[in-house]
């Protein structure tokens, strides 16, 4: 199968702006930046190394838009192609240390792009000044450039070029050996060893910070985080077809039996999802930035369908433990110490318990010990859990730990903590607490391993959900222009307590709370409206920051028609958008028109499913899931 023909490589690279939203979506709250922050830069799965057509915009370098925290970002005036860099994030937000390194400039001035063609292993661009062909595999970037001007390589280049963020050039130590170069660069938060091998073309000039090549040149760049020798050893392994072969092996885990836009959207979302997290096991570099973005959907996707990578990820999570026995929750692609994030208390803990229930192979005895240490630490230091959401993190860690290992570290305490976190009716979280990237309503309908402990008042919960998703209430206002201060946003959020429409991740799983209430029709109505209103195959087809695969993996699951409840072995049945697909060993068939969303019946291996949910074991073992709609 030619997957290049199915994928929109520029998906999520433009803001949605004033798109017309229908039905429930008119009543949702879209306040965060409405752009996916994605780039067509080719790279192999779980690998950070890519080739970025660099326009300098926030935050990928490929973007032509300014930094924006609320609303639709402004376009940079006269944004033109400056050259090509490496290592940009896939859908990251404001992480400050931007991965745009080693600038290749085929012309002294920025240029327009006349023609462009992207694929899984590279791209071709035509400009008024030069043509360029690139190929990327795991650790190598191949360039073939024909230009009207000399070609400049600036290995110490780092950063962005927007009004808020400025690029910079740091010192590079360049050593030449005939037509090869070893280059060592300290970017302050990452040290890279580069290797450049000139295949064709002349070396015009070498200075302390630049290499100038002739107008027609062909060369390969490789890197290592360890040593010059490692960087040198990589170039002989360069293989032009490696990226295509790797992507095909990952895509073949799923076999979509139809030709439709949903099929194209599925493989597009899957491709962007599998760019993260970065795994360089041979150099002990892993990027779990940030766990908050990936623990609900991206990691469960990997744990279910990519066992080798799941094993590497989980075993290396066990190494991210600080002196208090707690886990570091964000390990950037960096030489800096990992981050102990208050925003992500217990999330690695929850993820490890999820992996254990999914049958991932890792050191479970060590995991049980380290996870227990962290849970017991917070149980004895509840004063450190400043936000009610942190109380939920701990509740989820305790219940997930029990689900995984059948060891009770405080299930009775979970009930107490939930009573403390929620208002008396257990519908809304404490309205006086502090919330990040949302308000109390966004977090109140979180679906997780501890959800079962807060279902006492189902009638009130169902009523609140109806209001949250817009089954009741007026249309909402949204910010189309960037807002310089969050004050107006916070005031609006205080009054508009609605679903963010996947514009952000705090409430991305909330529609599945309806399934705990037996209200599958409304669950599926929300899912349909999210997919139809928030996603498309267009360049502006992602509703908000993809957050390192958080949104793209959400879409991957929901197009399949299944969804993981993190910390449990429950896989909820949703609304299949594909008529038939083989996902690993599981075959999912949708019976009925694509526009339908009411269940007639849901069968697994010809037997009615209890609560319309599978177990992870059933998904892994395989069978046939038949979803009949009416």
- How far CA 51 is from CA of 99, 134, 233, 234, 557, in Å, comes to 11, 8, 20, 17, 28
Close Cβ partners of 534 (under 8 Å, ≥ 6 residues apart): 25, 501, 502, 503, 543
Decide if 116 contacts 105 (C-beta within 8 A): no
Taking residues 472-493, what's their average pLDDT? 84
What does the pLDDT look like over 132-171, one tens digit per residue?
Answer: 999 999 889 999 999 999 999 999 999 888 888 889 999 9
How far apart are alpha carbons 542 and 549 in whole angstroms?
Answer: 11
Reported confidence tier of residue 56, pLDDT bands at 50, 70, 90: very high
- Lowest-confidence pick of 141-145, 187-191, 300-304, 385-389: 187-191
Backbone angles phi, psi at 519, to 5 degrees: -105, 70
What does the pLDDT look like over 421-461, one tens digit per residue?
Answer: 999 888 999 999 988 888 999 999 999 999 999 999 999 99
What does the pLDDT look like over 319-359, one tens digit per residue?
Answer: 888 888 889 887 777 777 777 676 678 999 999 999 999 99
Per-residue exposure over 366-375, b if at least 16 CB sit within 10 Å of its own CB, e if not: ebbebbbebb
Q: Which of 595, 558, 555, 591 is nearest to 573 (CA)?
A: 558
pLDDT at 97 over 70: no
Q: What integer pLDDT is reported at residue 45 of this predicted model?
A: 95
In DSSP terms, 611 is beta-bridged to none
Q: Please report the DSSP string for 79-98 in residue order.
A: --B-EEEE---SS--S-SS-
pTM above the 0.95 mark?
A: yes
The residue written with tokens 């060893």 in the block is 193
Per-residue exposure over 511-550, b if at least 16 CB sit within 10 Å of its own CB, e if not: bbbbbbeebbebbbbbbbbbbebbbbeebbbbbbbbbbbb
Reported confidence tier of residue 95, pLDDT bands at 50, 70, 90: low
Q: What percent of the chain has pLDDT over 70?
A: 98
3-state secondary structure of 147: strand
What does the pLDDT look like over 544-599, one tens digit per residue?
Answer: 999 899 999 999 999 999 999 999 999 999 999 999 999 999 999 999 987 899 99
What HEC string does 486-537 produce?
HHHHHHHHHHCCCCCCCCCCCCCCHHHHHHHCCCHHHHHHHHHHHHHHHCCC
Decide if 410 contacts 398 (C-beta within 8 A): yes
Q: Which two tokens stand for residue 199?
A: 């295949």
The residue written with tokens 């600036």 in the block is 154
């Amino acid at each position: 199968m030619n997957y290049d023909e199915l994928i929109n490589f520029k998906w999520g690279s433009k803001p949605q702006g004033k798109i017309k939203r229908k039905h429930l979506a008119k009543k949702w709250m879209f306040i965060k930046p409405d752009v996916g922050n994605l780039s067509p830069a080719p790279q192999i799965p779980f690998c950070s190394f890519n080739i970025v057509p660099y326009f300098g915009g926030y935050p990928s370098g490929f973007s032509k838009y300014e930094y924006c925290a609320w609303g639709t970002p402004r376009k940079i005036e006269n944004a033109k192609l400056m050259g090509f860099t490496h290592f940009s994030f896939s859908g990251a937000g404001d992480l400050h240390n931007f991965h745009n390194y080693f600038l290749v400039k085929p012309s002294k001035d920025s240029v327009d792009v006349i023609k462009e063609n992207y694929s899984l292993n590279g791209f071709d661009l035509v400009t008024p000044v030069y043509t360029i062909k690139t190929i990327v595999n795991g650790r190598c970037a191949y360039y073939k450039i024909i230009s009207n001007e000399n070609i400049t390589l600036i290995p110490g280049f780092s950063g962005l070029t927007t009004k808020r963020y400025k690029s910079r050039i740091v010192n590079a130590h360049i050593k030449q050996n005939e037509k090869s170069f070893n280059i060592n660069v300290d970017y302050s938060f990452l040290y890279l060893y580069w290797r450049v091998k000139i295949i064709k073309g002349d070396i015009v000039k070498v200075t302390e910070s630049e290499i100038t090549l002739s107008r027609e040149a062909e060369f390969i760049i490789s890197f290592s985080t360890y040593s010059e020798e490692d960087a040198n050893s990589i170039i002989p392994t360069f293989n032009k077809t490696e990226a295509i072969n790797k992507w095909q092996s990952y895509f073949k885990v799923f076999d979509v039996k139809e030709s439709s836009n949903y099929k194209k959207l599925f493989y597009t979302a899957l491709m962007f999802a599998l760019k993260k997290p970065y795994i360089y096991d041979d150099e002990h570099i892993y990027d779990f930035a940030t766990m908050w973005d990936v623990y609900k959907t991206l990691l469960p996707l990997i744990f279910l369908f990519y066992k080798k990578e799941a094993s590497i990820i989980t075993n290396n999570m066990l190494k991210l433990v600080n002196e208090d026995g707690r886990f570091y929750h964000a390990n950037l692609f960096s030489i800096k110490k990992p981050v102990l994030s208050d925003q992500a208390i217990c999330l690695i803990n929850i993820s490890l318990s999820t992996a254990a229930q999914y049958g991932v192979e890792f050191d479970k005895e060590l995991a049980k010990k380290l996870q227990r240490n962290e849970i017991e630490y917070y149980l004895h230091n509840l004063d450190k859990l400043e936000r009610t959401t942190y109380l939920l993190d701990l509740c989820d860690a305790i219940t997930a730990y029990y689900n995984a290992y059948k060891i009770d570290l405080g299930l009775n305490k979970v009930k107490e903590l939930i009573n403390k976190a929620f208002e008396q009716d257990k519908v809304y979280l404490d309205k006086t607490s502090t919330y990040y990237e949302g308000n109390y309503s966004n977090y109140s309908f979180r679906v997780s391993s501890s959800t079962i402990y807060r279902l006492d008042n189902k009638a009130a919960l169902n009523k609140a959900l109806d209001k949250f998703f817009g089954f009741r209430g007026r249309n909402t206002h949204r910010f189309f222009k960037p807002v310089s201060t969050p004050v107006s946003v916070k005031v609006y959020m205080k009054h508009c307590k609605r679903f963010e429409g996947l514009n952000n991740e705090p409430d991305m799983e909330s529609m599945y709370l309806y399934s705990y209430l037996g209200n599958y029709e409304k669950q599926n109505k929300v899912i349909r409206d999210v997919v139809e209103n928030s996603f498309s195959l267009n360049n502006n087809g992602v509703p908000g920051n993809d957050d390192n695969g958080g949104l793209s993996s959400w879409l991957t699951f929901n197009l399949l028609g299944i969804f993981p409840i993190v910390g449990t072995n429950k896989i909820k049945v949703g609304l299949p958008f594909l008529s038939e697909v083989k996902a690993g060993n599981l075959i999912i068939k949708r019976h009925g028109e694509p526009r339908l969303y009411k269940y007639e019946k849901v069968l697994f291996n010809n037997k009615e499913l209890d609560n319309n949910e599978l177990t992870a074991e059933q998904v892994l073992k395989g069978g046939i899931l038949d979803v009949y709609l009416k």
